[in-house]
Structure 1
């Protein structure tokens, strides 16, 4: 981002489905882009990505139930609930239609929002996610099965916990966040048919050393109409959806790739 660029910010809480859901808006203009963090993330852990995305459009970053400034409520974590929360947030902010960008857990929530509230989503960007729970490598699924408050002493020394502790309304709720996240990750799902019927044009983004095997990536892309035929010499048969694989990255550092923002912007502007 150039030094002369000024990105204005506003913030607030949206009353949605019993939550007070935190949001922060950057920039202005264009179709608003709603950005959703990964597991144990929050708005502040995006680094400079939000400001980069906001150079030419409004960007609204949110915090899911129990994450960051959005206090937890007496409701188990559910992927479908996260999708409805995003739909309700969009409505609360008075936005007729948005683009939606989610990473990891946030990509799962964004996918559900696009399935459950298709009229609200113009374009969808999904970074490092799967359309069914067994899409991850076996060792990743095994690690997910172990997530819970039993690992809190290790997490206490992590950057994720430090960022959470700096802003959370109840710092002592982090072990409960770990338990709720673990319960969610252990719930199997298969959205093959819903993804096949997905309406918004979608950009799938992965690292070349991601937690997802190339075979699942290819299957996901095929479900949304990609990679099924030659695009013709003039590109006339090119699918509306896209696939990007970013080199030299993993599931855990893909959002720091210098290629991510231009890849997303090119898709949104096309």
Structure 2
């Protein structure tokens, strides 16, 4: 599809798949791009239209004259859903993209039918302490050292202005250092939500349980007839970490049934 104007921000979008299923918008992690979903894309695109989005300053999307914030990128995603004529869509985000997906359903509940949040906490302290310590050590000066990384290789291959790499690193470092706590807003989410984590994730297991509880999960026995189970779901994928979740052969099998399920009490 190429660049699509969303809220005044040009976003690069690719459309894959076809079929009667609800449209699905995919949001990548930090320093990533829509192509990050390549390992799981065939499963996700079977029977539905899938839109791979490069977020602000990532992949083939140019940067904008503003900081990187989940809240403003959520403005872009909501505008994009409207611009594409989808009305509403299912939204799946990974890592930073999961933060953007969460903010999208919080700020624009009418445009998200179902949410899949992969490996992202509802508050910053949900990360393991060593993870937040690593985030706090990030600064603009890391741009040069990161030029030898696969992250820079992708950026160099896709970015419309490869000279903006230091800008992306500086903005990402600043975003990662910000405190946030969305727990009160998460508890108000009404869209059916699937949380996906690895069994060796960067997010603490205790926070995973807390996050699921905010959505009504893990609070009671689901009962033999499923009358006690929540609409939202939790998947913990074995043999995976935060860094390789998108390559897990189990990811599609967790996501697709959730998107296709007839969920009691869910609209649409």
TM-score under structure 1 normalisation? 0.94
Residue 201 (structure 2) aligns with: 210
Residue 96 (structure 1) aligns with: 87
Q: Measure the CA separation in 2 of the matches of 1:234 and 1:116.
A: 34
Residue 35 (structure 2) aligns with: 44
Deviations 1:80-135, CA, capped at 9 Å, x for gaps: 10111110000000111100000000000000000011111110000000111111
* CA RMSD, 1 decimal: 1.0
Q: Does residue 54 of structure 1 match 2:45?
A: yes
Residue 64 (structure 2) aligns with: 73
Q: Does residue 189 of structure 1 match 2:175?
A: no
Q: Measure the CA separation in 2 of the matches of 1:226 and 1:76.
A: 34
In the alignment of these two chains, the number of paired residues is 260
SS in 2 for 1:134: helix
Q: Does residue 135 of structure 1 match 2:118?
A: no
CA drift of 1:73 comes to 1.4
Q: Measure the CA separation in 2 of the matches of 1:149 and 1:51.
A: 36
Q: Measure the CA separation in 2 of the matches of 1:17 and 1:89.
A: 7
Q: Does residue 170 of structure 1 match 2:161?
A: yes
Matches within 5 A, 1:103-252: 103-252=94-243
Q: Measure the CA separation in 2 of the matches of 1:243 and 1:79.
A: 22
SS in 2 for 1:129: coil
Residue 23 (structure 2) aligns with: 32
Note if contact 2:183-2:214 (Cα within 8 Å) is conserved in structure 1: yes
TM-score under structure 2 normalisation? 0.95
Residue 13 (structure 1) aligns with: 3
Q: Measure the CA separation in 1 of the matches of 2:34 and 2:186.
A: 27
Note if contact 1:45-1:163 (Cα within 8 Å) is conserved in structure 2: no
What stretches of structure 1 move > 4 A for 4+ residues in a row? none
Q: Measure the CA separation in 2 of the matches of 1:232 and 1:209.
A: 29
Note if contact 2:92-2:115 (Cα within 8 Å) is conserved in structure 1: yes
SS in 1 for 2:144: helix
Q: Measure the CA separation in 2 of the matches of 1:146 and 1:172.
A: 23
Q: Does residue 255 of structure 1 match 2:246?
A: yes
CA drift of 1:262 comes to 1.0
The runs of 5 or more residues in structure 2 that have no matched partner are 262-268
